[in-house]
Copies of this chain bind each other. A is one copy, B any other.
Amino acid sequence: MIDYKVIEEKLGASIISDVLDGMGVRGQSMDTTIRPISDDMTVAGIAATMLMSDQFDYEKDTFEVQFKAIDALKPGEVLMVCSNGSDRAALWGELLTTAARYRGAKGVVIDGIARDIKLIREVGFPVFCRGINCISSKGRIVAIDHGCPVKIGGVMVYPGDLVVADLDGVVVVPGDKIEEVIEKALDVADRESKTRDELKNGMGLYDVYKKYGTV
C-alpha cells in the first residue's frame, strides 16, 4: 500500500521526477504553467480524470457530467482536469472544493482556471492550476468525459497513476511503477542529503556528483 505521508514529508515532485528520469521514463513532469494557488500546498494521491471543452450555448446545462465525475471521487484521489488550457472561465471553485473534500479527495490539478481562491486557501485544499479569474464556467465549459486519459501541462495522465505535487511542480507516476519509484526515491533522498553535506564542506560540484551521482 502507498504511504502518502512518507511521500509528502520525505519526498517531493523534484525527487520523484529525477527517479523517473533515471528509469528512462520521461515526459512525466508538468511544465511551468501548472502552479499551486498557495505556496504551502502539497499533495500525493491517485489520479481520477475529467476532460472538458469550451462550448458557446449559454442556455445549455453544462454541469451534468462534471458534477457526476466529482460526486464519484473516492478517498485518496486527486482530480486531474484537462480543459485543453481554456482560460475562458474558472472551472474550479469553493463549492466544488467543498463537495470534493466531503468525498475524501485530496486535491485537484487543472490545466485551466480556478476562483474563490481565498476560501479554498482557508480550508487548505490543494489546487494546482494555470491561472485565476472570477468568471463562472456555467454555460462556458462542459465536461465531455471522465475516467479517460487526459493531457495536463504536457503530461499524459491515466486513471490510477500516482500524482505528486508541491511548490516545485507536478509529477505523474505511471500506475504500474508506483512501488518501484517510491523505493528508489527514498534512496535518492538519502544520497542527496550526503551530497548536501559534502557541498557545505566545500567539495567541488563535479567531485560530489562523481561520488554520489546526484546533484
Contact = CB atoms under 8 A, between A and B. Distances in A.
A186 interface: no
A206 to B, nearest CB: 4
A214 B99 CA distance: 13
The prevalent SS among residues of A at the interface is: mixed
A161 to B, nearest CB: 13
B166 A29 contact: no
Given A30-B133, A115-B14, A134-B17, A144 B55 contact: yes
Nearest to A98: B199
A31 interface: yes
Contact of A118 (B144, B166, B170, B205): B166
Contacts of A81: none
Contacts of A171: 134
Q: Which of A150, A156, A169 is most buried by chain B, counting CB atoms within 10 A of its CB?
A: A169
